[in-house]
């Protein structure tokens, strides 16, 4: 069984394939990790489709994936605070990939994995929960204020809902009708974005308007909630800054630092954050895992279990 999954040229899913590649060598400030679990994100298929090619140079063949958890195999020059054999989780090098037996992680975007946090949960944190953390912090809703999350049922939304709820914020989120109970289990009020009475439900949930809005959908999503966005409401979009600019949105600022990841893992260990990994696919089914995310409607997070490789 080959050890990596990626693509050989930009395009649709038909360009994806299993790859035989040499073990990567860590450069300065990089860690070589044996991957036990890899998170699956919308950015993965976006990279494959060439959406980021203007600013992300990829050598072909390219390996998919941006976040992983595993065990340190080798340290690059200048890496402090980690040792061979440590369980860690973090973000891959830009364009590096981690749907693979081995991946290179950026030391400044990697953290130790607490023993009580599973590799599967840890692999789900850097991109989605990291984005949620940075966005909620930037929006800064305080206890008693409201946060409206557009697209609450996916990886970023479920984490943002829990982080805000933990700070005493009242969370309202848009999701498909099927996800109502799921969203409510996160302590948020669910609003069906396809419901005939969408506007009525929204106004009832936010009678004084929203204090903060996190857009994870883009397109017309912000227009559809404009009735609850008044001057003074702080808005961020993780997906469509152009539309969000019409609502005076703040530009999103991402950190993914070791400190952020450490904080997220601590919350998971304390039972205050659940990345909601609702689908775990064996490595052999990497194509199906990415298809689930590319559908645009996954439940929480999708993760690849790399320990399922027959050669492991
Ligand atoms: N720039 C960055 O650093 C960064 C980082 C992370 C994510 N992002 C972006 O942020 C977005 C969300 O990421 P994610 O990881 O949460 O995605 P995800 O896990 O794929 O979830 C997307 C969610 O959106 C929901 N959705 C689809 N259409 C919707 C609509 N019209 N109204 C409300 N909800 C809708 C889907 O569920 P239902 O339709 O079933 O409710 C799904 O749960 C993506 O565009 C991603 O690329 C950006």
pLDDT tens digit sequence for 87-98: 999 999 888 899
Q: Which of 91, 156, 201, 278 to mutate to test the pocket of ligand 1 (most atoms within 8 A of CB)?
A: 156
Residue 151 alpha carbon, nearest atom of ligand 1: 34
| CB < 8 Å & 24+ apart, contacts of 19-23 | 19/61, 19/63, 21/61, 21/63, 21/100, 23/102
User: Can you tell me the distance from the alpha carbon of 200 to that of 300, in angstroms, rounded to the nearest whole number?
Assistant: 26
In short, whether 154's Cβ falls inside 6 Å of ligand 1 is yes
User: Can you tell me the distance from the alpha carbon of 182 to that of 127, in angstroms, rounded to the nearest whole number?
Assistant: 21
Confidence band for 2, pLDDT divided at 50, 70 and 90 = confident
Confidence band for 54, pLDDT divided at 50, 70 and 90 = confident
pLDDT at residue number 312: 46
How far is residue 140 from each of residues 193, 216, 236, 280, measured CA to CA in Å?
25, 17, 11, 32
Residue 153 alpha carbon, nearest atom of ligand 1: 43
Cα(161) to centroid(ligand 1), Å:
13
Q: What is the rounded average pLDDT of the residues 165-188?
A: 98
- Residue with CA nearest ligand 1 atom 13: 156
Please, what is the end-to-end C-alpha distance for the chain in angstroms? Answer: 10
How far is residue 209 from each of residues 84, 134, 172, 220, 228, measured CA to CA in Å?
51, 23, 11, 18, 4
Q: What's the angle, vertex CA 57, arms to CA 52 and CA 61, rounded to 5?
A: 100
User: Can you tell me the distance from the alpha carbon of 307 to that of 17, in angstroms, rounded to the nearest whole number?
Assistant: 19
Residue 193 alpha carbon, nearest atom of ligand 1: 32
Q: What is the rounded average pLDDT of the residues 102-123?
A: 98
Q: Please say if the pLDDT value at position 263 is more than 70.
A: yes
Q: What is the rounded average pLDDT of the residues 165-185?
A: 98
Residue 174 alpha carbon, nearest atom of ligand 1: 33
- Residue with CA nearest ligand 1 atom 33: 151
Strand-pairing partners, residue 61, are none
Q: What's the angle, vertex CA 206, arms to CA 267 and CA 229, rounded to 5?
A: 95
- What are the phi and psi torsion angles at 301 (to 5°)? -105, 150
Confidence band for 310, pLDDT divided at 50, 70 and 90 = low
In short, whether 176's Cβ falls inside 6 Å of ligand 1 is yes
Q: Which of 198, 216, 299 to mutate to test the pocket of ligand 1 (most atoms within 8 A of CB)?
A: 216
In short, whether 153's Cβ falls inside 6 Å of ligand 1 is yes
How far is residue 124 from each of residues 40, 222, 265, 268, 274, measured CA to CA in Å?
8, 27, 10, 11, 10
Cα(274) to centroid(ligand 1), Å:
17
Cα(236) to centroid(ligand 1), Å:
14
Q: What percent of the chain has pLDDT over 70?
A: 99
Cα(217) to centroid(ligand 1), Å:
5
Cα(290) to centroid(ligand 1), Å:
14
Mean of per-residue pLDDT scores for the chain? 96
In short, whether 193's Cβ falls inside 6 Å of ligand 1 is yes
How far is residue 246 from each of residues 43, 211, 229, 235, measured CA to CA in Å?
24, 17, 11, 10
pLDDT at residue number 254: 86
- Chain centre to alpha carbon of residue 289: 14
In short, whether 141's Cβ falls inside 6 Å of ligand 1 is no
Cα(216) to centroid(ligand 1), Å:
5
Of 256, 259, 307, 260, the closest CA to residue 281 belongs to 307
Of 104, 95, 20, 17, the closest CA to residue 50 belongs to 95
The answer to whether 283 touches 305, Cβ cutoff 8 Å, is: yes
pLDDT at residue number 194: 96
């Amino acid at each position: 069984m080959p050890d990596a999954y990626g693509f050989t040229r930009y395009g649709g899913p038909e360009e994806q394939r299993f790859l035989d590649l040499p073990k990567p060598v860590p450069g300065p400030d990089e860690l070589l990790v044996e991957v036990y679990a890899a998170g699956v994100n919308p950015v993965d298929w976006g990279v494959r489709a060439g959406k980021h090619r203007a600013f992300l140079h990829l050598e072909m063949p390219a390996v998919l994936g941006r976040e992983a958890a595993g065990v340190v195999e080798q340290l690059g020059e200048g890496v402090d605070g980690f040792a061979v054999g440590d369980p860690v989780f973090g973000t891959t090098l830009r364009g590096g990939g981690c749907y693979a037996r081995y991946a290179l992680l950026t030391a400044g975007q990697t953290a130790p994995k607490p023993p009580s946090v599973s590799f599967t949960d840890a692999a789900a944190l850097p991109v989605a929960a990291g984005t949620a953390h940075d966005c909620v912090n930037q929006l800064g809703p305080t206890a008693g204020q409201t946060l409206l999350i557009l697209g609450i049922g996916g990886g970023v939304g479920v984490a943002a809902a829990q982080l805000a709820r933990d700070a005493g914020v009242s969370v309202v989120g848009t999701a498909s009708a099927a996800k109502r109970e799921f969203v409510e289990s996160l302590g948020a009020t669910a609003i069906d974005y396809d419901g005939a009475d969408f506007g009525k439900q929204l106004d009832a949930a936010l009678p004084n308007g929203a204090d903060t809005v996190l857009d994870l959908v883009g397109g017309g999503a912000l227009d559809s909630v404009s009735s609850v966005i008044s001057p003074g409401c702080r808005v961020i979009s993780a997906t469509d800054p152009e539309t969000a600019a019409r609502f005076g949105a703040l530009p999103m600022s991402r950190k993914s630092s070791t400190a952020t990841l450490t904080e997220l893992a601590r919350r998971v260990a304390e039972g205050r954050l659940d990345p909601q990994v609702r689908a775990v696919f064996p490595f052999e089914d990497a194509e199906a895992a990415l298809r689930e995310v590319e559908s645009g409607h996954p439940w929480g997070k999708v993760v690849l279990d790399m320990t399922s490789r027959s050669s492991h």
